[in-house]
Amino acid sequence: MDILKTIVNYILNLGGPVFVPLIMFIIATIAGLKLRKSVLAALTLGVAFSGMTLVVNYMMDSISPAAKAMSKIFHLSLNAIDAGWTGVAAITWSYKSAFLFFPLLLAINFVMLSFKWTKTLNVDMWNVWNKIFTYVVVLYFTHNAFYGFLVAGVQIVLELKSGDMWQRHIEDLTGMPGVTVPHLVTLFAVILQPLNKLLDFIPAMNRPFDSAALQKKIGVFGDNTAMGAIIGVLLGFGAGYSVSKSLNLAIQAATAMTLFPMISKLFMQALSPIADAMSDFMKKHFNGREVYIGLDWPILAGRNELWVTVVILVPVMLIFAMILPGNTVLPFAGIINLSFVVAALLLTGANLLRMIVLGIITTPIFLYSATYFAPIITNLAKSTGTVKVHAGQQLSWSTFEGPDFRLFFAKAFTGEWWAIGLSILWLLGFIWLYIDQSKAKLPSQRYTLAGMETATTANIPVEASSTSTDDIDLDDLDGMNFGSTSKKAAQANKSTSLEDLDGMDFSNSAKNNGNK
């Protein structure tokens, strides 16, 4: 057991930008891609992941201080500190049984692939921490480790099936063939699905509203760089910044919004030859069976609709934190709501207006979930000793990931009838989502204007069955715009503010790739 723990920890300590390209190199070599091309593709993928992590962190580091300043303007002082996903991940990785979930994921994925129950091969091993945290939540409520492993296993299965479901949408949105995102954040679409269906009855919601459509309507103000600058300066003024500081934030946001689609080109350059080789290999040895490579959500980060939405939702979340009765969580580290926006991007086909409306409607779900789960996260932090939690304080995560799935299934195994009923309803909702999205129009074909198909996407022609594995150069991608490609809880006696975060060290999560 100690040997297994050592091996797993060594692999995970490599971090995503090393581990994932290594796995992809092995896959490419087995698929028959030439050694030179396999090495270059793997290295380019590592560069793409590292680059995207740098820009994501740059964007979040630019926005977070403005969010903190804005919370002071709102005079927010609540007793549960928001550690964000990085803090919760660091705490979770310190749990004593964490290493067991690595082989659990591999075993379930292997069985499902062998019996053709999925087409997704998940190589995103860093996000095993999501399964560990689900286990901890279930264990907290049931005091039964078996139930914890069982629910974590169900989560793995659902993630793999979601990978199958979203693959064609992801390819259409990003132009990247043969890859998908089997991540828990995409399962929030089960909650968003009925809301999104209601939006179908509003004519304005059925028109093209992605970044490309905006650029056509409002010209330069719809450009990625201009949108970043506008959002940045408005956020700065909202935070009470001076003119010069607001302009600096504008440039920082514009920088990130400009770099996201550029780095997306690197993903395309790395993944295209591997996808072609895999297609040839599967045709030759497995009668053309499709296999999708499961990667982390940053492969979608080139879509600027994602970033426009989360930045607009920052003041929305702070206002809700101030006015919602019973909320105890002060949003800070987790205020960039990636737990919502990835599912919204995929479900709506990058329709910015729908994403913002759905975000406003569902923000209270995240704050109340963070309040409800605060005792669990606090207990986990204390039991692992990862983070020191002061007396009277609680630790939480304002944009709690998968709050619906974790609450319903954890409470269901305690015998609560309401939870059993909601779990069954949730599973039925997933089946509905799966069937609906499997036959839904691709994002590039979904929205119409004046009876014509939307031209909001520069749909990149990708021949999955291509036999060519020629070198791909970034120069060949000039002119392709990947940024617009259609692609509850005991109340503590002591109130604290954001300053209480000072001194808390979540840096042990930095050994990993920094991706959620």
Instruction: Express each pLDDT in 332-346 by its tens digit.
Output: 778 888 899 999 999
Contact (Cβ atoms closer than 8 angstroms) between residue 79 and residue 392:
yes
Residue 406 lies inside a defined structural domain of this protein? yes
Residue 515 lies inside a defined structural domain of this protein? no
Residues 6 or more apart whose CB falls under 8 angstroms from that of 190 comprise 404, 405, 426, 429, 430, 433
Which segments of the chain have a pLDDT < 50? 450-503, 505-514
Q: Can you tell me the distance from the alpha carbon of 59 to that of 49, in angstroms, rounded to the nearest whole number?
A: 15
Of residues 183, 239, 181, 231, the one with CA closest to residue 211: 231
Q: State residue 202's pLDDT score.
A: 93
Q: State residue 61's pLDDT score.
A: 81
Residue 71 lies inside a defined structural domain of this protein? yes
Which residue stretches of 385-509 are H helix? 403-412, 417-439, 443-446
Strand pairing category for 452-453 and 448-449:
antiparallel
Number of H helices, E strands in the chain: 17, 8
Residue 266 lies inside a defined structural domain of this protein? yes
Residue 130 lies inside a defined structural domain of this protein? yes
Number of structural domains, the chain? 1
| pTM for the full predicted model | 0.75
Residues 6 or more apart whose CB falls under 8 angstroms from that of 258 comprise 224, 225, 228
- Residue 206 is which amino acid? N
Dihedral sign, CA of 362, 368, 373, 377?
positive
Dig out the tokens for 411 from the structure: 């409470």
- When computed from its CA atoms, the radius of gyration of the chain, rounded to whole angstroms, is 22
Question: Which of 24-33 are b and which e, b meaning 16 or more Cβ less than 10 Å from the residue's Cβ?
Answer: bbebbbebeb
Q: State residue 226's pLDDT score.
A: 80
Q: Which residues pair with 329 in a beta bridge?
A: 80
Residue 516 lies inside a defined structural domain of this protein? no
Instruction: Calculate the dihedral angle through the C-alpha atoms of 236, 340, 9, 35, rounding to the nearest 10 degrees.
Output: -90
Contact (Cβ atoms closer than 8 angstroms) between residue 418 and residue 407:
no
Q: State residue 222's pLDDT score.
A: 58
Residue 135 lies inside a defined structural domain of this protein? yes
Range of the domain at 451: 2-506
Q: What are phi and psi of 515, to 5 degrees?
A: -95, 145
Degrees (nearest 5) of the Cα angle 413, 419, 424? 95
Residue 76 lies inside a defined structural domain of this protein? yes
